[in-house]
Chain A
Amino acid sequence: MKIVMAIIKPFKLEEVRDALTGIGVHGLTVTEVKGYGRQKGHTEIYRGAEYAVSFLPKLKIEVAVATDQVTKVIDAISTSAKTGQIGDGKIFVYAIDQAVRIRTGETDADAL
Chain B
Amino acid sequence: MADVTFIVDGKKLTAPAGTLLIDACRKAGIEIPAFCYYPGLSLQAACRMCVVRQEKVPKLQTACTTTVAEGQVFVTESEEIAQARKATIELLLGNHPLDCPVCDKGGECELQDMTFKYGAGESLYDEAKNHREEQQWSPAVYFDRPRCILCYRCIRVCGEGMDVWALGVQNRGVKSVIAPNGGDHLDCEQCGMCIDICPVGALTSGSYRYKTRPWEMNHVATVCTHCADGCKVTLGVRQTQDGSEIVRANNRDKSGINDDFLCAKGRFGFDFVESQDRLTKPLVRNSEGKLVEASWEHALRLAASKLKEVCDSKGGSAIGVVGSNRTTNEENYLLQKFARTVLQTNNIDHERTADYAAFAQALAGHSGKAANLRETATAPAILLVGGNPTEEHPLLAWNLRTNVRLNRARLYIANAKAIKLERMSYATLRLPADGYPALAAYMGGSNAILKDTTFREAVLAEDSLLVVFGSEYSGSQVAELVAWGLQLGNVRFAFLGGYANSRGAADMGLLPDFLPGYMPVTAHGAFAEYAGLPAKPGKTLAEMMASAGKGELGALLVVGADPVAKLGATPEALKKTFIIVADIFLTETAALADVVFPAVSLYEKSGTVTNTFGDVQLVCKAADRAGVKPEFEILVRLAGAMGVDVKTLVPFGKGSVTADLGQSRGAQAGEADRHAVWLAANNLEPKLSPFDPLAVLDEIARLVPGYNVDRVNLLSGNDVQTEPGLAPASASAGRGQITPVHDGLFTSGTLSQHSAALQELARHQAAQLVKIRMK
Chains A and B form a bound pair: no
Give me the interface of A with B, judged by CB distance under 8 Å.
none
Give me the interface of B with A, judged by CB distance under 8 Å.
none
